[in-house]
Amino acid sequence: MADPAPYPAGQTIVGPNLIDHPNLIDHPNLIDRQTHQQAEAAALETGRLLFAVECRFFFGAQKLDQLPPPAGTEIAFAGRSNVGKSSLLNALTGRNSLARISSEPGRTRQLNFFDLGGRLTLVDMPGYGYARASRDIKADWQGMMFDYLRGRPTLRRVMLLMDARIEFKQADHDVMDLLDRAAVTFQLVLTKIDSVKPVALLPKIHATEALARSHAAAFPRIVTTSSETGDGIEALRAELASLVD
């Protein structure tokens, strides 16, 4: 069944103070701008209500046989070490310390599960691509990640975070290939856009959209966010709320 979509497929979701992406207005599926604005406002309110409830950590797993029983809808968050994953989770849930922000990139070695009001489970995956991590740890993490991705029936989507300030790394391409092989839908999320000037952000958005189009498992719509300013956080909440049954 196709995912419900508060925004047209292929559209980039941007914060209110950023660039007007042309697809926001000119998408052929839109009857008119007013209709779109009404649908967008309803989606934002649904996202606000979903994330207005308490979110709490309830499980950590370092091995597949330690995973909690599958239940409800799960959405996982993945990305390179130091991409701002913990900051984004904290911004989404409105909590300063839900996900711990480590001063040592690559420190997290387990899948952390957070319950959002009994309606949605957020899964914080270990960061990848940390150069100082040992080969054994990298291999174990990638093996566990792949097995979790392909064997978790409640996993609806992986939000794959990319730092808007820097170029795509080989580790990013490797993980996207892994997600393609696991046949798990993933969605690209640009982080730290507050540190990128608008004139440089637009080419980055276009490059990210092209990257999504090159992968079979990638969802076509990307999201741009800043945990520092809050840009894109409400839109991301709406996007996640659309996946909850």
- pLDDT tens by residue, 164-208: 999 999 889 989 999 999 999 999 999 999 999 999 999 999 999
More confident residue, 3 or 237: 237
Question: Does the pTM of the predicted model rise above 0.85?
Answer: no
Nearest to 120 by CA among 177, 174, 49: 49
More confident residue, 225 or 100: 225
The mean pLDDT value of the chain amounts to: 84
Mean of the pLDDT values across residues 97-102? 58
Q: From the options 3.40.50.300, 3.10.310.10, 3.40.50.1950, 1.20.210.10, give the CATH code of 23-236.
A: 3.40.50.300
Can you give the pLDDT at residue 134?
63
**In angstroms, what CA-CA distances link 111 with 78, 125, 141, 142?**
10, 5, 10, 12
